[in-house]
Structure 1
């Protein structure tokens, strides 16, 4: 496909114009520029749907529908949904837009007859209207917003596009724009299918309620074989070009809208990622081709083989499975049944839960047979989904397996069932379902010379490997760390049979005997008490001292070792807590005490558990090994008072369950996003090893102590290094090279590489600072080191001269901090190698205003703490109190200033003498922002002040004002805040009353009318909060009857008290505004409860 490459962008306007050229020139969209005038035909700015266009298209798509049916559909599509959350409204409207609006009409016999009004033609793309609107003003409850671009289909706003200047970090489009827009103009996102954020150099796509880490690139347009040159894309600033062509081409947009959006557990909207969209469509095309071959009786050699869907672990295969099934149901004629087959109870449960969560099946639906007889019965029905273990196809040896169903519309989806899919059970399944179609979804197909997976299921229909997923951001990078070498086994030539045998935790008697006969020596070493004690000590030291304190998994040799390791770690954990408490009590620095207290607090809260499968006679078996399984089994089988079992707890990021001990369970198909560390002490290879390490590669937006998850860590106690390299060569897109280290392009790198990445990030930050005349190394190289705080003030003043400079520096600091955290705890012994880390971090604190620079004692303490962290310090300096000089510049304690006592003129005079003007401005801005936030929390109509403040800032950043004018503008703005803060007293109103008064008043009121509006505000609040019967009950906003009572009270009070000049339209508008305000307050846990 030919591509339009866009020149390097400078401004948002240039990006916008170039992209509009693609929309109108390449894709055939209409365009309206509403910067100067609203050309959409809306009657009010509060409307997010272009109703005239919607009505026109509904009539066009439903020519036989009566006017009343069209009116009903328009009403259903445009009515506000204040009684719902944004997620609920988005979900309800999505199904209305996709499936149509159902109503009733009178037929020729004057009887009610159901009819569905089509909203979007999902078959013939030419029947719809495609419109891209730029700079459209939208009025929310309190504030106006103007998104850069909105894509409308038939007048419905399906895609939101936010653009930033190419010099601004893309994250700002999410934090500064999308987040605020969702809050200020939520109705726009009730219809939203997809959000696109771009600064030209980088573009990310996600759903409206996704966290930023779930916004991903879209760089493959037509097929997954495309290999995007990311450097070239960045150099030519064409990332948005790829996303628009890949998603907004009319047929693709309709396909994505219809088939690739999921609503999960009524809390999360899942939008398919680039690889899922392309992969599932490949699979659907192959399915269509298979149907054609079967009908024409061609390609008989592949009859029944739908292919292999090979996507790496953590990339969303289970969701891809749902996308595929849904597309088959919607796009292919037939009465299909999907039989989802696994070979483990826990994996079967995981997949079933995902289908239930996505709404594909209900919890009450019978779709999980308990035995072979039930399976046979279900296969005779027309159920859409059946979930089963392949063991349901077990049959006595020597007997012919019976035919269960001759249906040719059964689609068997096999998920990650390696050892059972090519032997007797698989043969029985195919004998029992001779006409079924078979497809494998896997991250680790069996390869080698036999290529068993392809032999049984057909050729690969889609491939997406481990390395690609990391590059795309679909999974986080993994790092490998070999620890405690003194207890490592020298097992480079480990017999593959050992890893194969212990991959199943429920060993047969024959396998158990074989282990003892053939691998007795290895097992004796592996399970020796001294060795396990050493590993347990290392885990207890390492686990609470990592940077990102995500959840962890200890993978052990067998069930007995899992319990034994739990007992050891639990005992040593308690000992470590006592040791830390002793350290806190000893004479160490305050900084060390604070760090130790945080570690101790985390350790006290942390819980751990054993997760192993149940088997007959297990109590006796464990007792023979001197272990008690009963207490662990009880925990595994028992839910808490909230109905949560151990699996729920481990998946919940905030639950104290932090560490689990497993041997096979939860290593396949288990998805807990905050798992970040794996401790492997078990022989593993090939697909089992790949499945295991993928537990730590999930992306999450959950931050812990303000730290994001940037990578996963594999801690290796068994030396699976050689097997890991080989597994990646097969499954991960890596290579096997010579020597002792993996190739540089290997998907998993040794942890030492983090130090290289950290130094590279430091060098880049250092160079950036040099480019703006800041030499960070002068601080560490100076004789007096941190003796002059003014040096930091000087550097901060330079960075704060421009918002873009500040944002870029923060990006560098965030990167450095994340890498430093990833290097913990080992980097604690190497801090002298990275002296600029502390310098950059301290400078960031000053920029953020976290330091009270007028406090000399605290400044001395901070510098001393930096020196304690081994930043090039001499003994002479450490012992000298006089070396730390007075800070050259004292910043005003803005947060302590009383606005009523502020002398504006004096501030302006003092600024002329200030040595670091940009710091002065930054502190003043921080004070204003904090003050304005407090004032807005009391009166939502003050959002206009926020807009005024932003205009002042934007004017300066664009070069429209000089530094002194900028400061004076800010000081004048403080004067306006001062007057606003005193307005309630001047008006004779409380703050609450003033807020309602501001919502009720309109322009050109006479003094008498003004007084009546004040009376209305007072009367309304008195009735709502003080009189009986109470109407603002707890959770009134969740109940339609309670909402109606509140509306009636508002209407009654305002009808009695508002001036006669408030005609019906104004009266209705004001009633709605006040109700919406109280509703939003109540929904957000605010003040709207009596």
Structure 2
């Protein structure tokens, strides 16, 4: 047993690491014993070992050329350390070439410095006490790993007896000092390690402490395979420093990225390395083309674009794949641009960005070796509708789809698979796929690798996100709002006035009201000055509409000296106050670049957006998002992740919520904890028979109408009951298409879906009763609300709290059980309404009542869920009482809706005749309700005929006969379906 006096870095850290390296095939050599091999103590390369390796790996090379190669390695021409390091890395991984005659004349020959294909052909040394001295002084790194005499890894060991928060900091500081004092050693360095055994991190030259990262997964090994209780140092060593892993990391997982004129050397993090290795393993071992694909879920901010780049690099270097074609697809221009720039900055060979459909087709037919970046929208059909052509049947095509959910499952994605039927499809997403979102894994295959938001925060790959709820107090002023409204819209009839209220007196009108935005802007400025500006960070404001974004800009300009910019999509019909915010792509790019600069270099502090820059936008300097817009599920998760990028001295990102998304946030976070996702999936083939059945059901209405007679098709849908049933059948057909797309088996049905959609729209236009035009009323309503909505102070509902902490759950816990009850009640009420939709009259509340209720709903989203649940409870009780009234009348459950309909249409009076009529009518219905009668037009016609006969006998008003018979048959299709 080790004596306590030996608890130091030499015994606890260094010796342990040496032993582990010896176990995996390294030779341990002490530094002083190598002095005889060095001409001077300033030499950092073991020249004789490098010379021997060159001869061994390139047995054809002559002495003269071997000396030339040696000199090109030992004398690197560069102006600074980073340039020298990149120059050597390129020589190492791309090999060198030299002119030599091997019997067929002098030709260029490839020279290997290291054999990456057969690691055992190389010499691996772990060396301690290796001193390097020159006029500047002497350094003695704890350990250096030499491969073929080249010092590729430098390791600094620190005592675990140091304070926890100093162990890594001291080691990394020492490594930075070595770089300053003996630069030539780091010409050859691939990465460095700081370790105290209890902690171990790797980084590259010039990296600051926050850019060093742990290696938490020893893949392809498992943790128990290392030893009984491996330390972080043991895991890092097993994951990064085996002969195979070390050479693989150097060859495929190091890139030099140029940002703002500065080169940064990046080494893969463990999750990126693991995902690529798993993807390659699946690709090479799959039995069928389809089984090669899958989904990589790596949370936003964890380096997904680089993972795609590393995978592309490795795919190109696997000999058996014979220089594949790589296609990188996104669904938004900003993402396409971001990934293309990542590939180009990292000097990936010749990535081509397809700017048009035509160019995409040309690039996809070029054959192996292409790297193509494009938008999924480029897979659109010709104007003539001739279908997207098959462009390559090669299996040697790898398609990487970024943010691979929802947008990828429609016709464009089907065209992609038609163009490249045998390609391997790999989906990359930053948000998890929930049980309802079955299309992702059904389209791409099962998960290849997962890296969650919790893991990213724990690893320091992203900063934690905190959530702070704030709410504006709102009041409606005056008692005459209804009178004002009626006066302002007096030229419209009462029904049209109600339509205007319903369409324009809505939640968005409240959120975008000037008084409310003025109060929130004031709060934003105060919050920013107190919490964000002192540390030099920047902010994003997310507005509910473009008009609201413009208002925020105007208020910020009026009340503060902070620079701000509005980035929104421009509309052709925008008014002048919005046109001033229209930007060209170049102007938008310039604004974004300004925003990313440190505050001392550019004072642009606020970006105000509506939909743009909520996803695929990386600005590490952004710490806070002021959110005043309803966002849910994946959109919400992606938006808040704009604040989670790491940045110097940034310890957290912050969401300040003025809208009330806490409920939505909890639901979105629940997606992360869902299990058995795979168990919920069904193979696409199982949906094909249902698609065929639903297609037939939607098409049968037009079986005897010529396709050259579209007017005839529209006339088929003239009867209201036929239109209603067709609507149901069409929606089911469209739903099945949504599930099957982008599978090529859906192609045969696309033309019919488009055609039925057009017929449906024409029929709606033809037969729907036209109301008065209210399109110009929106501005008037906005003005009314603006004048009569008063916003007072902004209330802080609770202080910032991490969205991943237990306290976040606790904050919502007091509402959680009530929300559960509310959800159940809401579900029950929805069901009741669905069944009884046509029997309940629609009541419109006054404009003031609607406004007050909307404001109350705004508050309840964050503050008063109990009030909301109580209202639902009362509503459900009323419905229960109503359903019991049927029993009191002696009617069956399914008969009562018919009674209520007759009561509504024929007037409230003596109940007995209506009860008798209800029973007579439902008996007639039951007699005719044969199996699948709802699909038989002749049965429904006969049913309407008999019902009208009974209604006439019961003194039903003549003008109501036709309409009431149709409504009764509609009800019968719900209650007496066979």
Q: TM-score, normalised by structure 1?
A: 0.57
2:322 to 331, 334, 341: 334
Could you tell me how far apart the structure 2 residues matched to 1:306 and 1:5 are?
A: 51
Instruction: Measure how far apart 1:17 and its partner are.
Output: 4.2
2:509 corresponds to 1:524:
yes
User: Match for residue 150 of structure 1?
Assistant: 144
Could you tell me how far apart the structure 2 residues matched to 1:425 and 1:6 are?
A: 69
Say if 1:488 and 1:712 are closer, same or farther in 2 by CA, change over 3 A: farther
User: Match for residue 361 of structure 2?
Assistant: 376
1:222 to 204, 207, 219: 219
User: Match for residue 747 of structure 1?
Assistant: 804
2:345 corresponds to 1:352:
no
User: Match for residue 622 of structure 1?
Assistant: 575
Could you tell me how far apart the structure 1 residues matched to 2:20 and 2:643 are?
A: 40
2:279 corresponds to 1:279:
no
User: Match for residue 238 of structure 1?
Assistant: 231
RMSD of aligned alpha carbons: 3.4
2:13 corresponds to 1:13:
no
Q: Secondary structure at the match of 1:638?
A: helix
Say if 1:26 and 1:357 are closer, same or farther in 2 by CA, change over 3 A: same
Aligned pair count?
656
2:122 corresponds to 1:65:
no
2:38 corresponds to 1:42:
yes
Q: Secondary structure at the match of 2:173?
A: helix
2:622 corresponds to 1:658:
no
User: Match for residue 757 of structure 1?
Assistant: none
Equivalent residues in 2 for 1:62-461 (5 A)? 62-81=58-77, 83-108=78-103, 111-168=105-162, 169-174=166-171, 176-222=173-219, 238-265=231-258, 267-290=263-286, 292-294=287-289, 302=290, 306-331=293-318, 332-362=320-350, 367-382=352-367, 384-395=370-381, 399-461=386-448
1:717 to 650, 658, 670: 658
Could you tell me how far apart the structure 1 residues matched to 2:378 and 2:205 are?
A: 42
Could you tell me how far apart the structure 2 residues matched to 1:135 and 1:446 are?
A: 51
Could you tell me how far apart the structure 1 residues matched to 2:799 and 2:196 are?
A: 35
Q: Secondary structure at the match of 1:486?
A: strand
Moved more, 125-134 or 378-387: 378-387
Higher relative contact order by CA 8 Å / sep ≥ 6: 1 or 2?
A: 2
Asked whether the 8 Å contact 1:481–1:751 carries over to 2, the reply is no
Asked whether the 8 Å contact 1:133–1:151 carries over to 2, the reply is yes
Larger Rg: 2
Q: Which runs of 5+ in 1 are unaligned?
A: 295-301, 490-513, 575-605, 702-707, 755-1090
Moved more, 133-142 or 215-224: 215-224
Could you tell me how far apart the structure 1 residues matched to 2:301 and 2:552 are?
A: 27
Asked whether the 8 Å contact 1:135–1:149 carries over to 2, the reply is yes
Instruction: Measure how far apart 1:549 and its partner are.
Output: 2.9
Asked whether the 8 Å contact 1:140–1:184 carries over to 2, the reply is no
Say if 1:146 and 1:537 are closer, same or farther in 2 by CA, change over 3 A: same
Say if 1:20 and 1:549 are closer, same or farther in 2 by CA, change over 3 A: closer
2:641 corresponds to 1:694:
yes
Could you tell me how far apart the structure 2 residues matched to 1:487 and 1:175 are?
A: 54
Asked whether the 8 Å contact 2:380–2:415 carries over to 1, the reply is yes
2:560 to 573, 577, 582: 573
Say if 1:633 and 1:521 are closer, same or farther in 2 by CA, change over 3 A: closer
Equivalent residues in 2 for 1:680-1079 (5 A)? 680-701=627-648, 708-731=649-672, 747=804
Say if 1:293 and 1:394 are closer, same or farther in 2 by CA, change over 3 A: closer
Tell me the alpha carbon deviations over residues 331-386 of structure 1, each in whole angstroms, 9 at most, x when there is no partner.
Answer: 14223222211111111111111111111145xx6x22222111111111145211
1:55 to 44, 51, 62: 51
Instruction: Measure how far apart 1:439 and its partner are.
Output: 1.1
Say if 1:356 and 1:405 are closer, same or farther in 2 by CA, change over 3 A: same
Say if 1:445 and 1:427 are closer, same or farther in 2 by CA, change over 3 A: farther
Could you tell me how far apart the structure 1 residues matched to 2:606 and 2:247 are?
A: 44
Say if 1:519 and 1:337 are closer, same or farther in 2 by CA, change over 3 A: farther
Could you tell me how far apart the structure 1 residues matched to 2:422 and 2:269 are?
A: 33
Moved more, 11-20 or 662-671: 11-20
Q: Secondary structure at the match of 1:188?
A: helix
Could you tell me how far apart the structure 2 residues matched to 1:532 and 1:463 are?
A: 40
Instruction: Measure how far apart 1:636 and its partner are.
Output: 5.9
Tell me the alpha carbon deviations over residues 883-930 of structure 1, each in whole angstroms, 9 at most, x when there is no partner.
Answer: xxxxxxxxxxxxxxxxxxxxxxxxxxxxxxxxxxxxxxxxxxxxxxxx
Could you tell me how far apart the structure 2 residues matched to 1:649 and 1:523 are?
A: 31
Q: Secondary structure at the match of 2:321?
A: coil
Say if 1:456 and 1:121 are closer, same or farther in 2 by CA, change over 3 A: same
Could you tell me how far apart the structure 2 residues matched to 1:560 and 1:162 are?
A: 57
Asked whether the 8 Å contact 1:466–1:733 carries over to 2, the reply is no
Say if 1:153 and 1:714 are closer, same or farther in 2 by CA, change over 3 A: same
The runs of 4+ residues in structure 1 deviating greater than 4 Å are 4-9, 36-40, 223-229, 396-399, 514-520, 732-735, 740-746, 748-754
Q: Secondary structure at the match of 1:633?
A: coil
User: Match for residue 647 of structure 1?
Assistant: 592
User: Match for residue 690 of structure 2?
Assistant: none
Asked whether the 8 Å contact 2:466–2:800 carries over to 1, the reply is no
Moved more, 388-397 or 469-478: 388-397
Asked whether the 8 Å contact 1:325–1:338 carries over to 2, the reply is yes
Q: Secondary structure at the match of 2:293?
A: strand
Q: Secondary structure at the match of 1:270?
A: strand
Asked whether the 8 Å contact 1:59–1:65 carries over to 2, the reply is yes
Q: Secondary structure at the match of 1:308?
A: strand
Say if 1:336 and 1:430 are closer, same or farther in 2 by CA, change over 3 A: same
Q: Which runs of 5+ in 2 are unaligned?
A: 477-498, 677-796, 812-978
Say if 1:422 and 1:475 are closer, same or farther in 2 by CA, change over 3 A: same
Tell me the alpha carbon deviations over residues 64-83 of structure 1, each in whole angstroms, 9 at most, x when there is no partner.
Answer: 111122111111111144x4
Could you tell me how far apart the structure 2 residues matched to 1:75 and 1:60 are?
A: 18
Tell me the alpha carbon deviations over residues 623-680 of structure 1, each in whole angstroms, 9 at most, x when there is no partner.
Answer: 3xxx2333x33476438xxxx7122222233432221011222222221121111111
Q: Secondary structure at the match of 1:341?
A: strand
Could you tell me how far apart the structure 1 residues matched to 2:2 and 2:636 are?
A: 42
Q: Secondary structure at the match of 1:484?
A: strand
